[in-house]
Amino acid sequence: MTDHTAALDELRAQLGDRLVTTQAELDLHARNETYYPFSPPDAVAYPETTEEVAAILKTCNAHRCPVVAYGAASSLEGQHLATAGGISLDMARMNRVLTVNAEDLNVVVQPGITRKTLNEELRATGLFFPVDPGADASIGGMAATRASGTTAFRYGTMRENVLALEAVMADGTIIRTGSKARKSSTGYDLTHLLVGSEGTLGILTEVTLRLQGVPEAISAATCRFASVEDAVNCVILTVQSGLPVARIEMLDEMMVKGFNIYSKAGLPEAPHLFLEFHGSPAWVAEQMASFGEIAADFGAEGFQTATKTEDRNALWDMRHKAHYASTSFFPGKKLMTTDVCVPISKLAEAVTRSQAESRRLGLTCTIVSHAGDGNYHCGLSVDPGDADEMDRGREFSHTLAELALELGGTVSGEHGIGLGKMKYMDAEHGAALTYMRAIKAAFDPHDILNPGKMLPPPSA
Amino acid sequence: MTDHTAALDELRAQLGDRLVTTQAELDLHARNETYYPFSPPDAVAYPETTEEVAAILKTCNAHRCPVVAYGAASSLEGQHLATAGGISLDMARMNRVLTVNAEDLNVVVQPGITRKTLNEELRATGLFFPVDPGADASIGGMAATRASGTTAFRYGTMRENVLALEAVMADGTIIRTGSKARKSSTGYDLTHLLVGSEGTLGILTEVTLRLQGVPEAISAATCRFASVEDAVNCVILTVQSGLPVARIEMLDEMMVKGFNIYSKAGLPEAPHLFLEFHGSPAWVAEQMASFGEIAADFGAEGFQTATKTEDRNALWDMRHKAHYASTSFFPGKKLMTTDVCVPISKLAEAVTRSQAESRRLGLTCTIVSHAGDGNYHCGLSVDPGDADEMDRGREFSHTLAELALELGGTVSGEHGIGLGKMKYMDAEHGAALTYMRAIKAAFDPHDILNPGKMLPPPSA
């Protein structure tokens, strides 16, 4: 590990006690929700303004000291880990709502605010920010990983919901991308280039987000199917019919079993769809009726609806606890999660082949799917102390990535590349990877921004 | 002008009689709908495959010979003009629908197909491609200029509707961006980088477009208001209420007067909204009723609806002929068009200030607005032989660009930069322009792709 003493001395002069090097802080910033090795930064910096971020980057660029943005640490591919040492740039103090533009349906926030806090602050406006990845992630982290979740089918992912950015580039230059207008045809789309760049091209310091009016009526519904194919085919027809379902989640029979153990759900152990409809009361009723007709064609049973807020919250709370429910079969084991996304026409094939592969490998596997998007997660119960089981888990993950590419899909629907998926970048992007590397080299010639992430070395 | 004989000789060997240098062909490719100087290419190339495009670029890159993509020549800022000579790359022979993926609601096309031809070919599928800029533009050109039009408020611009691309880069490398899945979190978003890049970063050879189901019911409506402020405030509240209006166009009193002269519309000469609603019959009826209530609050009168296809077509045909209607006041004059876009909260201010400025300058000006997006076009009747009037027209355009930037908007909502708006790139993008130039230099080091467009020289 390189010695970054000179950079740290300079940063300490700039930030005072907001540059922290206590072991407890370093360890805290090395934590992650997955299996990545413990890799603490050399120091944690807590900037309070864009100008401070610019000064930090200028210093770090001069000293070739890595800088890794840190939000809520909920990323799942180790994006926030300082694996090459250097500075963990913790955005916790840049967590304010700057401007609510209610008439224009957007809000300007600092990157450290989390999505739940943002929605709390928007409560009085009648507007909300719809992207919901489950975790209470920071907005900066969600933008950087191009996050999505259960509502993306209706409202889009961070790709569609970030309208403009302020960012600090590797050498400390502050740029603004996009405008306050809803659309523009002027110049290269740097907003979309930065969204999903995982902190490797610039540090986000302001994010302008699209907002939605809180729907007049919201109804949730659940129903079950005899098979995963029936459930998925019901989703495909729902999508084709143009119904703007707000959420449409598919849970396989093992996932439902997990809910029964963990949340005492008492559901029949069959594949289910969990749905939510947004709109005026009449329009919600019509959407539910239309969906009911489609579902009946695929043999749906046990149609339950939830219109009261507490009942809907209980349903989505159960869904959001899929992580814990998936580990409820063997209390000592840990969860290994996958995140592929395929064209929805291939989703039934992908899910059933995944189930078969988990059986072949003797693995316990739950499946939850943002089915309207063709994105699904397999949750494997694995014992980190069981080398053979861990190997089988990794083999499963690898097979799934290859399956997704074979079916025209992508190795990550929403978790991103980070450390874990770099090995598939070449297979997924081919010659385009050269152009991604060219952008990285042009924007960050000394490779200080989240080095060792996203782009595999050319020799790999 | 540089001598490109060596490049032309090599290309002739590759393409045979599909490399054309007759004066008629060169002149044809120098035509444009606006005031840009006549600037024919050295030759016109008609590739038939991606591999041919790659071979052409390889040759041109080796010989430093400019290449300018050419589609339907409907661009309004001279994007398709070979102002530095070289090759006009006419995509007319790459105009096929390659794959309709009905279950996944997308289609893969070659760039030379026009949007009307595409929708003809989709007719039997129950699906349609919604982006409608008015002109029967080529899909490649629409993607390259990030086009939009009357339906963008509901369905998005080309930014939201291009899912994946195949492109040939300056040195002939063929890349693919995006995947067949609806979303992905893997790597830099090269799809959005190429969309709107106006042929300066790569040549599009395949475009995957999002499709929509043809709505079960479509209704159009028109109504009028006492003032532009009332009309725009009605739009703002409609947007805020979350109504998914398919089209919501504002026409000022002069534009309506033009329709009366050109299309014998017989409309009261007051600001109007022209709208369209898509959905199930019940949902369309509910949307229209909700809109009617909002409109009544702003004093709307003369509410007319059109549900029959021929009546709707007549309405939108009149709207699409705004260009000709705007020149109907003084039959000898030509049209000078603007294209700014502002936050919708600023649209009333922008439009009324534009009207006042046109009066101050003694110019005849019509205004049409994609009001839901905050985008509006002023159509000035000018006599190219009247130097003073032309100067006043240019002064008006300049004032509008500055007004848009002052109000947080953009100098182009949908026509793009091309030759005409380069002078505002620095004011709109500031330091971000450096990063745009860095991408251009990394992707096209010899500046052969549409040179002299979009990015002003650093000294400017």
CATH code of A24's domain: 3.30.43.10
In a domain, B3, yes or no: no
Kind of pairing between the strands at A375-382 and A334-337: antiparallel
User: Which residues in chain B touch residue A438, judged by CB atoms under 8 angstroms apart?
Assistant: 442-443
The average pLDDT across A217-223 equals: 96
Contact present, A143 and A165 (Cβ < 8 Å): yes
What is the pLDDT, as a whole number, of residue B256? 97
Q: Which stretches in chain B have pLDDT values below 70? A: 1, 459-460
Of A92, A120, A148, the domain-final residue: A92
ipTM field:
0.97
A224 plus A344 within the same structural domain: yes
B387 plus B297 within the same structural domain: yes
**Which residue in the set B181, B187, B424 is minimally distant from A342, CB to CB?**
B181
A201 plus A230 within the same structural domain: no
Q: Tally the residues of chain A.
A: 460
A1 pLDDT band, cuts 50/70/90, is low
The CATH number given to whatever domain includes residue A355 is 3.40.462.40
Nearest CA in chain B to A160: B160
Cα(A50)–Cα(A207) distance, integer angstroms = 12
* Residue of A106, A169, A186 best to disrupt the B interface, most CBs of B under 10 A: A186
User: pLDDT tens digits for A240-271?
Assistant: 888 999 999 999 999 999 999 999 989 999 99
In a domain, A199, yes or no: yes
User: Which residues in chain A touch residue B404, judged by CB atoms under 8 angstroms apart?
Assistant: 181
Rg of chain A, C-alpha, whole Å: 22
Contact present, A107 and A131 (Cβ < 8 Å): no
B177 plus B100 within the same structural domain: yes
* Residue of B182, B234, B347 best to disrupt the A interface, most CBs of A under 10 A: B182
User: pLDDT tens digits for A82-115?
Assistant: 999 999 999 999 999 999 999 999 999 999 999 9
CB neighbour class for A246 (10 Å; exposed up to 12, middle 13-18, buried from 19): buried
CA nearest to A262, candidates A313, A320, A327: A327
Cα(B34)–Cα(A212) distance, integer angstroms = 39
In a domain, B311, yes or no: yes
What is the pLDDT, as a whole number, of residue B281? 95
Number of domains in chain B: 2
The average pLDDT across A116-133 equals: 97
Q: List A64's β-bridge partners, or say none.
A: none
Contact at CB, A187 and B429, closer than 8 angstroms = yes
Query: Who's near B95: CB < 8 A, 6+ residues apart?
Result: B110, B112, B113, B114, B117, B138
- Cβ-Cβ pairs closer than 8 A, A with B, add up to 279
User: Which residues in chain B touch residue A162, judged by CB atoms under 8 angstroms apart?
Assistant: none
A160 pLDDT band, cuts 50/70/90, is very high
B193 plus B225 within the same structural domain: no
CA nearest to B250, candidates B284, B223, B268: B223
A18 plus A81 within the same structural domain: yes
Contact at CB, A182 and B373, closer than 8 angstroms = yes
Give the range of the structural domain holding residue B106, as residue numbers without chain letter: 94-213
User: Which residues in chain B touch residue A244, judged by CB atoms under 8 angstroms apart?
Assistant: 244
User: Which residues in chain B touch residue A183, judged by CB atoms under 8 angstroms apart?
Assistant: 146, 148, 152, 157, 159, 341, 373, 375, 410, 413-414
What is the pLDDT, as a whole number, of residue A303? 94
Contact present, B64 and B448 (Cβ < 8 Å): yes
Nearest CA in chain B to A213: B242
Percent of chain B past pLDDT 90, that is, above it, reads: 92
What is the pLDDT, as a whole number, of residue A287? 96
In a domain, B101, yes or no: yes
Rounded to a whole number of angstroms, the distance from the CA of B332 to the nearest CA of chain A is: 31
Rounded to a whole number of angstroms, the distance from the CA of A50 to the nearest CA of chain B is: 15
A238-to-A109, A235, A247, A297, B301 alpha-carbon distances in Å: 35, 5, 12, 11, 39
Contact at CB, B424 and A186, closer than 8 angstroms = yes
Largest interatomic CA distance in chain B: 69
**Which residue in the set A185, A189, A374 is minimally distant from B412, CB to CB?**
A185
A2 pLDDT band, cuts 50/70/90, is confident
Rounded to a whole number of angstroms, the distance from the CA of A407 to the nearest CA of chain B is: 8
Helices in A3-109 by DSSP H: which ranges?
5-15, 23-28, 50-63
User: Which residues in chain B touch residue A180, judged by CB atoms under 8 angstroms apart?
Assistant: 342-343, 407-409
B389 plus B281 within the same structural domain: yes
A108 plus A71 within the same structural domain: no
B147-to-A184, A196, B140, B337, B409 alpha-carbon distances in Å: 9, 24, 10, 16, 17
What is the pLDDT, as a whole number, of residue B230? 97
Of B213, B229, B261, the domain-final residue: B213
Contact at CB, B373 and A432, closer than 8 angstroms = no
The CATH number given to whatever domain includes residue B147 is 3.30.465.10
What is the pLDDT, as a whole number, of residue B36? 81
Nearest CA in chain A to B439: A439
B241 plus B179 within the same structural domain: no
B305 plus B379 within the same structural domain: yes
Residue A57 has pLDDT above 80, yes or no: yes
What is the pLDDT, as a whole number, of residue B1? 62
The DSSP annotation for B306-337 comes to E-SHHHHHHHHHHHHTHHHHHTSSSTT-EEEE
Cα(A320)–Cα(A190) distance, integer angstroms = 33
CA nearest to A19, candidates A93, A96, A110: A93
In a domain, B234, yes or no: yes
In a domain, B20, yes or no: no
Please state the three-class secondary structure of A404-434 as a single string: HHHCCCECCCCCCCCCCCHHHHHHHHCCHHH
What is the pLDDT, as a whole number, of residue B331? 87
CA dihedral A101, A106, A110, A115 (to 10 degrees): 120
In a domain, B104, yes or no: yes
B127 plus B267 within the same structural domain: no
